[in-house]
Structure 1
């Protein structure tokens, strides 16, 4: 393949090679809008995908061993409010990562810094073996890692601009199986609840929901439905708005018979809201989640959900990172981990008066 140069990127955008060089160097000198245009054009032209586009990691790919503790892996989790060890979801993934690293005699350094200029001094390619990014990470941060040639695997996130190995739960197929089960119970009025802009996993779960509905001859909700754009899904700040929406649907007798939530935290909040407005779960409305966090079984109504093998995802990310270090030229992979449908008390066949 013909090598893509900075001059070609400059010609494509109608700017100078100097501007392109500044934008790709990460050292400043161009405004944010121009930098983003350059990064996007470079990605589209294949600049990032070619060999020697950036400095290569000088760490010896064979320098780690099962007993050596001299090498460490960075675990980058910029969303410090929600992507922490205490998180019911992310914490389990971290346990899988740390356990597999420990088994291999490797150290782990968790970084929650989100500013590129503050993280550059940490990302010393000669001092680390590789990096695992967990959850949402800005493109600018990933670009710095890519620029330094640090082997990287992303968990539950991918970036269209930067080619990287990724590990996900099989979100689309999993939610489709869940929806097919609910439809098989007799539900015909199903709605998805989440924020489609929140993460790739949420969007994939929506795609799976939509596919199951269409294959069953049912009409999925419209994209402008407010239940598809909840704000503050991490903190639950959408609760008041969602309560009013449910009250309105209740008055109009338009409540769905089944609510398919993008994750368990949303599902548990939805159950609390429905109980607050005197809608019984699952007698009037069935509710399902996704992830199978510990709290899914702690309430008065245990939650039907999809069990995500969180620790296994963390372990697989480490294994993929080691494979990438050993074989840097191997084809980039997107790994989908199998899940399991967990049926509990929050779902049942709809009553004739509901459906």
Structure 2
């Protein structure tokens, strides 16, 4: 692997001249000298040391992304979009699975800080943890994904982090009303018992919609218990389990809103095993609009976040606040979009 000394020797210049080029200080350099250095860099395929850059600036061109579980395709899609947005600024993304575990989150954040990473996107249910306050005081710049400020939140004591989220309350309403508009009067919301802020908002939006439609007495929330945590890696299996309960009920729902696409796919598979057809017997709608939702049979109607726009906003906010941490944190709420496919009856 070529070193900065190799580049200097190839170009016939001093190491400090190469360093000036690498750090953007070539304005007073003779044009032919600059061209020789650039040619030597290209010929030797020289890559500046990230460790050296950290020693010089205290930072590296890396961003952190902490998610509960990459097994959930919605978080894989998030990582993809964040990576695309980060590359526009010459940054790469380090990914960590936290399993919604405070100790894991704390360890990852400490690792990032120790490596000179100062910007991080966190998909977490635990934005008020003390270790996050500590990390912010140590220079971390953070964006919380899919977390909205709650009514009555004390903004003076809350961590100064940007929040970027889909409007999950409206997403829950949108899903419920889509089923109601298709003639469903008995509707079940299927979810896992662990209530993150976004899950609670979706359920509350669903309950608001059925109440407005006068259907509260015929609509229910059905919960399944995961073996670990919030069930981020178990949603398909939970959907299958809930399908068995639904098939055994005396009055089956006409429509189901699932907490996310993976649970919805599990429900469809479980109902099929019970000889219950989707959408002829029961319509199903999910959230997140993951890649599998279009590939499954029947293809899944889903409420989608504008993920590319959200990722761009998160990375832009990190860049702005890394440049000037005095910029106040903000909240950015994105409208959900309904993607209609085959799992809801016409």
Query: Following TM superposition, by how much is the alpha carbon of 1:170 offset from its aligned partner in structure 2, in angstroms?
Result: 2.0
Kept in 1, the 8 Å contact 2:163–2:331? The answer is yes
Question: In the aligned structure 1, how far is the partner of 2:108 from the partner of 2:174?
Answer: 43
Change (3 A) 1:219 1:142: same
Does the alignment pair 1:104 with 2:54? no
Instruction: Identify the match of residue 75 of structure 1 among 34, 59, 64.
Output: 64
Cα distance change on mapping 1:106 and 1:237 into 2, 3 Å: same
**1:154 aligned residue:** 144
Quote the residue 1:4 is aligned against: none
Note closer, same or farther for the CA distance 1:331–1:246 as it changes in structure 2 (3 Å cut). same
SS of structure 2 residue aligned to 1:172: helix
**Offset at residue 286 of structure 1 (A):** 0.5
Which has a greater percent of helix? 2
Provide the rounded CA distance (Å) in 2 between the counterparts of 1:107 and 1:214: 46
Q: Which stretch shows the higher mean deviation, 206-215 or 308-317?
A: 308-317
Map of 2:242 onto structure 1: 242
SS at match of 1:275: helix
Question: How many angstroms apart in 1 are the aligned matches of 2:108 and 2:123?
Answer: 18
* Distance in 2, Cα, partners of 1:118 & 1:344: 39
Task: Please state if 1:277 is matched with 2:274.
Answer: yes
Of residues 126, 129, 135, the one that matches 1:145 is 135
How many pairs does the alignment contain? Answer: 274
Q: Which runs of 5+ in 2 are unaligned?
A: 1-22, 25-47, 54-59, 99-103
Q: Distance in 2 between matches of 1:129 and 1:97?
A: 16
Shift of 1:323: 2.9
Q: Secondary structure at the match of 1:194?
A: strand
Matches within 5 A, 1:119-198: 120-124=110-114, 127-136=116-125, 139-157=129-147, 162-195=159-192, 197-198=194-195
What is aligned with 1:264?
261
Map 1:13-32 onto structure 2 (within 5 A).
Answer: none
* Correspondence for 1:59: none
d(CA) in 1 for partners of 2:219, 2:303 = 24
What is the SS of the residue equivalent to 2:262? helix
Q: CA deviation at 1:213?
A: 0.9
Residues 66-114 of structure 1: CA distance to partner in whole angstroms, max 9, x if unpaired? xx985324314263xx236xx5211221122222221112343334461
The question of whether the paired residues in 2 share the 8 Å contact of 1:313 and 1:337 is answered with: yes
1:267, 1:288 within 8 Å by CA — same for their partners in 2?
yes
Contact 1:288/1:304, CA 8 A, preserved across alignment: yes
Cα RMSD (Å) of the superposition?
A: 3.0
Give me the TM-score of the superposition, normalised by structure 2: 0.69
Instruction: Supply the distance in 2 between the matched residues of 1:135 and 1:83 (Cα, whole angstroms).
Output: 13
Asked whether 1:302 is paired with 2:292, we answer no
